[in-house]
Structure 1
């Protein structure tokens, strides 16, 4: 939807506030089933719960184009129902990882699982513009293809995965049966636990930065640098590639430190969480400072001279002189980045748009670094649910992920309001940075991997 919202916004005349509301509708449904999904995964077969979720979100993906043609409210409803289906995924996967993967490999397995979401974002950002272009600028076929893909996944999932994860069954024997209803859960103990609230804060802030990135990155490149759908989507891929790498690296680092006893489990989680929170905050503050119109002229000049290769010689000077200039600048040409290639393909010249080119390259570098560091949180708070509870890991994760979905939904909508009324991306980045720093402090003070509920 982050890609489709650009042509759909032009087609239906949506403001940034409406675009934010469309993106947020998904998270509202996602919040509800995250909360209940953790309980369902603990009380019933996690395989069946996930299968049902895939059926629901795939079906409503197919219904997105006709609902958009009917109006905003039908589209909001369909997007929320799609979120209802997808909301069971993460809490259910917690049960699946807990049930199939030995303890000494769980951090890296969780990292691999989390990176699947990022890889999906990468593929959709790469494929969606191509599908839209191939269908004459229409988004309908994109939704139809993605909806069908969900049902094709089920064809493989059902026969290849056993009904019940064996390790989960063993844990239930050791720690007692799963709760038979939501009321049987020890909610008073959960809601008065400081570690739970530390996880809630960290997960909510993660939801803010993650959902804002996935919903608004193409729009950011489009509005700030004038890039079209294809170029915006391509540049939006790079941060997700970095995050997928950071997420998997985080799991391996965590397992290494814990298994080799380099650090305690708690110290490992806190270290990765602090780096994964403070690092993105620093990147966001630099990004706010370097937003178009915010970078001091002297600094802009130095950045331009540092990242911009010498301008090509004008055609009027003759072919021979051009050839000589190319030879002299060969080393610089070999160092051209992916960002520069996108700029060339979109017609942004080396001289007329040197300042915009430098700012774009700087922004992409910061976003890539930010998302790579954010991925380290997979070995931080995102693995702590399984440390503090055996029987209720999926319930705890589902509850904090519901908070993350709600916080992300609200901030995605707030971003649209901020852009409509202030046109300030710097304000958006500063608010997220403040949230990241707050979450880091909370986890350092209250976070632990000591068992809390079993």
Structure 2
């Protein structure tokens, strides 16, 4: 079966295989990252007092949903059922926040160096090693949890260490493989993590209810090992190194990329990068995006389960809907961006700034509206789904801008931006734990949503004023810039000489005409 699958992939274009592996790579890394958000609900006992905090959205005795104007799906609004072996760990809210946030303690550091590692040793190898390590750590998670919550914190710490390398390495692959006219489609593959979240949260609940919470660690780990085999066979660091790509496809990619991308072996120009205001604007925009994304990813299941009152399996499905909306809209926005660029309807800079309206500002406004939705679960789920759906436009803003600024160092730029932005991964659980320490009511969750909305909107406004989509001079390095300057000077000199020669010829012709006339 595996051999037949591999032969099938050999029949399709290498770019399609790469897009598919980029997409599934993000799926894998998010599957191993977000499963803990839902697993904790099963691992920690749901006491009667915890459940009563959710009952704010339950109709009082003798009243119907219609009496309260409460639009709801009543058959999933029940006391949570126990999973086999569930409720075994008496961990406090702060300990749970520690477990969720531990993934992001080292993630920013390895994101910072992940792009440089991929540019130096090859993104194919970096992604493979990181994925194998992540699968092994996920397999060990149940053993660590039974030891203590500190054991699980350590596992999550090293999972974040390995996971930090992956996204910068993938962006190096995009820079080396994606022709400019297809950049939006390739970047949209980075939304594979969205589907990973959808599938993980949709299937984890039923899986745990039937086989126990440990199965939610073992199954993703096994799937990751299988995926690693396909990755090693199908992916190459660059078109020139792919053993099965057609000559026509290789030529098309290399000619489309031109001289903007090279296999860099030296250190990136950090001084130029750090002092670049367009790069700073991109980092701020990326931080705003990740704040909203990580907020819903890490504490979304808790909000759906504790405040809206859905049981475990339903909480996974409902929490996944926003990510499904994000995936769908990202594909649409990516195609729209490629179409606009192909027809030259907007400049790259205009596209990046205009679509901030959809990727950041509208999602922020919808988060504010969400906290006023009250117990109308249908409205709450709709608003949070729309917020994440519009954020799919990030494929045209912060997820592409580093490719614009310096495709030679796209992995490094994304790594730095991701290192800064990923700090939101441990800030959001801490902020949520602080405001919801005494209970889970809408009033206690309201400041959390206000903070998320503010970060979304402010980061977009900053980018609109200071961002750009133009390639920066430090992309080419000092030697290349000097060569380009020499080439331009040589071209100017030739033009001046040519002009002088033409003037001399004209003068000679004029003198000859006068002599003939005389």
TM-score range relative to shorter protein: 0.7 to 0.9
Residue by residue over 1:401-425, the C-alpha shift from the partner in whole angstroms, topping out at 9 and shown as x without a partner, is 1111112222222212221157411
Task: Find the residue that maps to 1:13 and give its secondary structure.
Answer: coil
Q: Look up the match of 1:94.
A: 171
Q: Does 1:154 align with 2:232?
A: no
**8 A contact 1:16–1:419 mirrored in 2:** no
Q: Look up the match of 1:118.
A: 194
Q: Look up the match of 2:377.
A: 360
2:356 to 273, 296, 316: 273
How do residues 205-284 of structure 1 correspond to structure 2 at under 5 angstroms? 205-284=288-367
Task: Find the residue that maps to 1:289 and give its secondary structure.
Answer: coil
Distance across 2 between alignment mates of 1:445 and 1:222 = 40
Q: Does 1:437 align with 2:437?
A: no
Distance across 2 between alignment mates of 1:15 and 1:148 = 30
Residue by residue over 1:290-348, the C-alpha shift from the partner in whole angstroms, topping out at 9 and shown as x without a partner, is 3x4xxxxxxxxxxxxxxxxxxxxxxxxxxxxxxxxxxxxxxxxxxxxxxxxxxxxxxxx
Task: Find the residue that maps to 2:455 and give its secondary structure.
Answer: helix
Residue by residue over 1:162-185, the C-alpha shift from the partner in whole angstroms, topping out at 9 and shown as x without a partner, is 3544389897976665244xxx33
How many residues are aligned here?
A: 382
Distance across 2 between alignment mates of 1:213 and 1:132 = 22
Q: Look up the match of 2:139.
A: 62
Q: Does 1:286 align with 2:378?
A: no
**TM-score (normalised: structure 2):** 0.71
Distance across 1 between alignment mates of 2:287 and 2:379 = 28
What is the root-mean-square deviation in Å for CA atoms of aligned residues? Answer: 1.9
1:197 to 280, 290, 307: 280
Q: Does 1:446 align with 2:466?
A: yes
Residue by residue over 1:84-135, the C-alpha shift from the partner in whole angstroms, topping out at 9 and shown as x without a partner, is 1111111111111122221110112111x22210011111011101210111
Gaps of 5+ in 1: 293-355
Distance across 1 between alignment mates of 2:397 and 2:185 = 12
After superposition, the Cα gap between the structure-2 partners of 1:177 and 1:371, relative to the gap in structure 1 and judged at 3 Å, is closer
Cα offset, 1:14, TM superposition: 2.3
**TM-score (normalised: structure 1):** 0.81
Cα offset, 1:274, TM superposition: 2.3
Task: Find the residue that maps to 1:63 and give its secondary structure.
Answer: helix
Q: Look up the match of 2:410.
A: 393
Is 19-28 or 145-154 further displaced after alignment?
19-28
Task: Find the residue that maps to 1:5 and give its secondary structure.
Answer: helix
Distance across 2 between alignment mates of 1:448 and 1:199 = 8
Q: Look up the match of 1:425.
A: 445
Distance across 2 between alignment mates of 1:23 and 1:287 = 24
Cα offset, 1:289, TM superposition: 2.3
1:127 to 199, 203, 209: 203
Distance across 2 between alignment mates of 1:243 and 1:422 = 30
